[in-house]
Amino acid sequence: MSDRKPTIEAFQAFFREEYEREAPGIEGTGRVPLELRRRLAESGALRLTVPEEHGGFGLGMVDALPYLEAAGMGHGSGRMLVHVANGLWRSLAGYGNPQQRSLIRGMGSGDVVLALGVTEREGGGGRDLHARAVRDGDCWRLSGEKHLVTFGQFADWFLLLSATDDRAASDSFSMFAVPRGSNGLVITPQPTMGLAGIGLASLRFDGVTVGGNAILGRIGQGLAVAGSFLDYSRVSLCACMVGLAQRALDQSIDFARQRTTFGKPIAERQAIQVHLANMHADISAARSLVWRVAERYQRGELVSTEAATAKLFCAGMVGRVTDLALRVHGGLGYTKETPLERIYREARAFWFEEGTAEVQQVLIARRLLAG
């Protein structure tokens, strides 16, 4: 594995060419070949923001943005691997014991895949979670379910958020690191609309026993652990959304130049030019917003409201841009003959990752009304 940070040009080429060549296979099988994951890790993509003491390049948020945008332009499974690995290590670094922190190096080298289980079918998130952890001597017994877990099908470790008492208060939850293969852990694939290869899965755990040292941080710090990378993660997603929207615009420009109707390329029709201009304006506004939040994050400022605002805007933006891209492509865009069909499906996942628009609106309004 190289010790040198990848150049942005090499990184872009990897996602646009090498990874893209494998996209039809990933779409067909729903799996990212192990060899491709190995090459992705070798490119350094999984340790861009990981601190040097854990084997990474230690990039700040602003410096990571061009890489995240480039990953966003590629297949959704690749951008998800980059997005999660460069975000989730924060929970281990901030709250893990030495054994848990040692997983970070493996995440960066691609040898360890970590998944986070927060969302539940029956609960609403936060204090409305139903998974339970009960003391059993020196151990804990975990029971409950999680679903929509990214990498659930192939992760080596799971971080599972469970209640450790029944007060339904914010300090009633704890985060547990649970290895794959634990007795009583049942993993069921959840096939998705897009993002083939991310291995989304639901988990059932019936009395899974883990040691007392499986907790991240202290008892009652579970929501803090889950939130410890949320601001970073929302900004990271925004950069990926800008990348995917830019790809949709690039594809639309190419298509508009080559598609001729009534003797002229549609690029020469004002109706199409207006679509392209509006897409560009939307993407440019989103990119500026993301840079501004990233700069403040890198300076160490608290940016929770700004990150939620950027997430809200960018999710709307990527929806609008891919809608217009589909219109520019006409009926062909609805077929698998053009990359747009996949881009359109992948764009919709952003509406849910790290919280829906409605959740961001609640967070933003709460802050607006508090002052």
Ligand X SMILES: Cc1cc2nc3c(=O)[nH]c(=O)nc-3n(C[C@H](O)[C@H](O)[C@H](O)COP(=O)(O)OP(=O)(O)OC[C@H]3O[C@@H](n4cnc5c(N)ncnc54)[C@H](O)[C@@H]3O)c2cc1C
Using the minimum distance from each CB to ligand X, give the nearer residue, 178 or 267. Answer: 178
Query: Which contiguous run of DSSP H or E holds residue 320?
Result: helix 304-329
* Stretch of 67-75, 93-101, 114-122, 331-339 lying at the interface with ligand X (CB under 6 A): 114-122
Q: Which 190-209 positions form the footprint of ligand X (CB under 6 A)? A: 195
Contact call for residue 359 and ligand X (CB under 6 A): yes
The nearest distance, CB 249 to ligand X, in angstroms, is 23
Contact call for residue 149 and ligand X (CB under 6 A): yes
Contact call for residue 93 and ligand X (CB under 6 A): no
Q: Which 281-310 positions form the footprint of ligand X (CB under 6 A)? A: none
Using the minimum distance from each CB to ligand X, give the nearer residue, 116 or 225. Answer: 116
Nearest-CA neighbor of 25 among 11, 41, 9, 36? 36
The nearest distance, CB 245 to ligand X, in angstroms, is 17
Rounded Cα gap, residues 101 and 81, in angstroms: 19
Q: Which residue in 20, 38, 119, 154 binds ligand X (CB under 6 A)?
A: 119
Contact call for residue 124 and ligand X (CB under 6 A): yes
Rounded Cα gap, residues 151 and 252, in angstroms: 31
Contact call for residue 145 and ligand X (CB under 6 A): no
- Pair 244, 349: CB distance under 8 Å: no
- Pair 90, 229: CB distance under 8 Å: yes
Using the minimum distance from each CB to ligand X, give the nearer residue, 72 or 355. Answer: 355
- Pair 283, 242: CB distance under 8 Å: yes
Q: Where are the beta strands (DSSP E) in the chain?
A: 114-117, 132-136, 139-149, 157-163, 173-179, 185-189, 201-211, 215-216, 260-261, 264-265
Using the minimum distance from each CB to ligand X, give the nearer residue, 253 or 359. Answer: 359
Residues lying near ligand X in the complex (CB under 6 A) are found at 116-119, 124, 148-150, 195, 349, 352-353, 355-356, 358-359, 362
